């Protein structure tokens, strides 16, 4: 029988066995899962990429609206 896959919890780094016995995987617990969700909501985590907010919300007001 093969060894189970073990990953580190992204929040606390505790070992987590990857399988149905660990329903919160890759997190070790619901608490660590919620801590990570809170970090995303507080914008402490971000996916790298171009900042589209400037393009979408700061267009010149003198230009007519674009039709899609």
Binding site feature residues for Zn(2+)? 9, 12, 28, 32
| Closest by CA position to 27, among listed 35, 16, 38 | 16
Q: Which residues are annotated as a binding site?
A: 9, 12, 28, 32
Tokens of 57: 């919300």
Q: State the number of CA atoms in the 13 A half-sphere of 40 facing the CB.
A: 8
């Amino acid at each position: 029988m093969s060894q189970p896959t073990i990953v580190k919890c992204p929040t606390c780094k505790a070992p987590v066995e990857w399988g149905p016995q660990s329903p919160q995987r890759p997190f070790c617990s619901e608490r660590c899962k919620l801590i990570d969700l809170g970090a995303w909501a507080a914008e402490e985590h971000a996916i790298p990429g171009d900042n589209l907010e400037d393009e979408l919300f700061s267009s010149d007001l003198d230009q007519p609206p674009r039709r899609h």
